[in-house]
Amino acid sequence: MAGHSKWANIQHRKGKQDKLRSKMFSKLAKEITVAAKMGDPDPDKNPRLRLAVKAAKSVSMPKDVIDRAIKKSQGGDAADYTEIRYEGYGPNGIAIIVEAMTDNLNRTASNVRSYFSKNGGNLGQTGSVSHGFDRVGEITYPATAGDADSVMMAALDAGADDVESDEEGHWIYCSVDALSDVSDALEKALGESTEAKLIWKPQTRTEVDLETAQKLMRLIDTLEEDDDVQDVTHNFDIPEDVAAQL
């Protein structure tokens, strides 16, 4: 789930990504195949593919799986995927953006609409919530990469626009077009990042109570379990006292 928040970090510590490991590998492999098919199969000549491979390596995807996904893109039997974005509102009007990659638009649209309606939300028109988000590149580093000041200096030197740091780590933001170059420059200065990808960064966040948080988590979990859904972004935050009860 895109977006930096204490709740996202808590979920990470609980091992949610490990639990969804095979599904994550499948979605990353799809991104690698699409990136390689749309551009050059050589990551050094294809910024999108290079970022996809970096994301795969960050979750320890085996090299042979990565190579197989790239090779699949060059075959005549590679599926034709369409990238599409859905926007809607969860319980209490929380804004949610769903990014999908599908070979059947009717199936995916029907499923996403159903997930929203069954979990107290409603699907909106394209653009209905994205105006409250900024499309940016996000590069993540662990706290061990350095103190906030040194990471900030390295990020600015690399061409980044902003940095957020706390005891969990560092989140570096840059323009969409600069993500690949900034990521490469930071790798030389700070070492390999945990993650580098394009995200929808909420301009403001809304804190939610326990009941709303539970409903939103059910909706987001349902969305993320769908094989066509690549990423889910939201604009809510869960206060620490509420998170402790989840």
- The CATH number of residue 20's host domain is 1.10.10.200
The string of pLDDT tens digits covering residues 38-71 is: 888 898 888 889 889 988 888 888 999 999 999 8
- Classify residue 241: in a domain, yes or no: no
Q: What is the pTM of this model?
A: 0.84
Is residue 20 pLDDT above 70, yes or no?
A: no
Which range marks the domain in which residue 64 is found?
Answer: 6-73
Report yes or no: 121 and 219 within 8 Å, Cβ to Cβ.
yes
- Classify residue 29: in a domain, yes or no: yes
- Classify residue 47: in a domain, yes or no: yes
Phi, psi of 38 (to 5 degrees): -75, -25
- Classify residue 11: in a domain, yes or no: yes
More confident residue, 91 or 245: 91
Q: Where are the alpha helices (DSSP H) in 1-74?
A: 6-13, 16-19, 21-38, 47-58, 63-73
CA distance 47 to 43: 7
Is residue 187 pLDDT above 80, yes or no?
A: yes
The string of pLDDT tens digits covering residues 115-157 is: 999 999 999 998 999 999 999 999 999 999 999 999 999 999 9
- Classify residue 42: in a domain, yes or no: yes
- Classify residue 30: in a domain, yes or no: yes
Give percent above pLDDT 70 in the chain. Answer: 90
Give percent above pLDDT 90 in the chain. Answer: 61
How many CA within 13 A on the CB side of residue 238?
22
- Classify residue 235: in a domain, yes or no: no
- Classify residue 225: in a domain, yes or no: no
pLDDT, position 55: 87
If one counts the domains in the chain, the total is 1
CA distance 65 to 25: 9
Report, in this order, helix, strand and coil percent for the chain, each rounded to 5: 50, 25, 25
Is residue 18 pLDDT above 70, yes or no?
A: no
